[in-house]
């Protein structure tokens, strides 16, 4: 269960990182859905997915975010990475990624990366209404039809439900820690933070 993680910091735009320590970085075309793709080598054409899983040590798998939550997954001889915004979370991307890995291995640990925190993520009532009952504790009403959403807590619920025994939170927020990481909400930037993981 040896792995290494990489998180890009300002001023570097994570989109421009194609290689880390001499090994290629594979990122998917992220579409806020809940599909997971397995890769064994650098794909010839871009994969459309919001979660990647690999068992090779030859590459990094990563996601690009600016507020959405990256979730790193570590199993026996396998690692995964998830891009979870509210839409993907609602569709169960993190639960799906763990379940996918658990079909042939076992996720031992998850790490919540740099994502917008529960004090900074304001959403409307329409978002609140879409989430089923078990997620209501992740919302805090702050005004008329306004809520704060704790995306990390929502993904922790999925990790626990999928049976992940250890969950670590790096406690970085793209808004609170905007000096180091990009935030679309705060900056309206098209630059992104790259969060990547590889087996070693």
Strand, helix or coil for residue 198: strand
Q: How far is the CB of 98 from Zn ion (least distance, A)?
A: 25
Task: State how beta strands 23-26 and 36-39 pair.
Answer: unpaired
Query: Which residue among 78, 98, 162, 173 contacts Zn ion (CB under 5 A)?
Result: 173
Q: How far is the CB of 7 from Zn ion (least distance, A)?
A: 16
Q: Which stretch binds Zn ion (CB under 5 A): 43-51, 102-110, 152-160, 172-180?
A: 172-180
- Give the per-residue contact string, 106-125, with Zn ion (x = CB under 5 A; - = no): -----------x--x-----
Q: How far is the CB of 177 from Zn ion (least distance, A)?
A: 8
Q: What is the DSSP string of 126-192?
A: HHHHHS-GGGGGGEEEEETTEEEE-HHHHHHHHHHHTT-SEEEE----TTTTTTTS--HHHH-----
Whether 191 contacts 17, CB under 8 Å: no
Query: Which residue among 154, 175, 196, 199 contacts Zn ion (CB under 5 A)?
Result: 175
Query: Which residue among 109, 176, 178, 184 contacts Zn ion (CB under 5 A)?
Result: 176
Residue (71 or 149) nearer to Zn ion, CB? 149
Positions that interact with Zn ion (CB under 5 A): 117, 120, 173, 175-176
């Amino acid at each position: 269960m040896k792995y290494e993680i990489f998180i890009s910091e300002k001023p570097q735009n994570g989109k421009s990182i194609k290689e880390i320590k001499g090994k290629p970085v594979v990122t998917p075309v992220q579409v806020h859905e809940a599909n997971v793709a397995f890769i064994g080598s650098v794909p010839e054409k871009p994969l459309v997915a919001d979660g990647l899983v690999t068992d090779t040590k030859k590459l990094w798998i990563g996601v690009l975010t600016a507020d959405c939550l990256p979730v790193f997954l570590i199993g026996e001889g396998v690692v995964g990475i998830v891009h979870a915004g509210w839409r993907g979370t609602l569709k169960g991307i993190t639960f799906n990624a763990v379940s996918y890995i658990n079909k042939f291995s076992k996720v031992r640990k998850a790490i919540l990366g740099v994502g917008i925190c529960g004090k900074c993520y304001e959403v409307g009532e329409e978002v609140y209404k879409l989430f089923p009952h078990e997620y209501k504790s992740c919302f805090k009403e702050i005004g008329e039809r306004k809520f704060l959403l704790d995306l990390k807590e929502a993904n922790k619920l999925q990790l626990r439900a999928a049976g992940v025994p250890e969950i670590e939170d790096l406690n970085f927020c793209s808004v609170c820690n905007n000096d180091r990481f990009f935030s679309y909400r705060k900056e309206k930037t098209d630059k992104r933070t790259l969060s990547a993981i590889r087996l070693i």
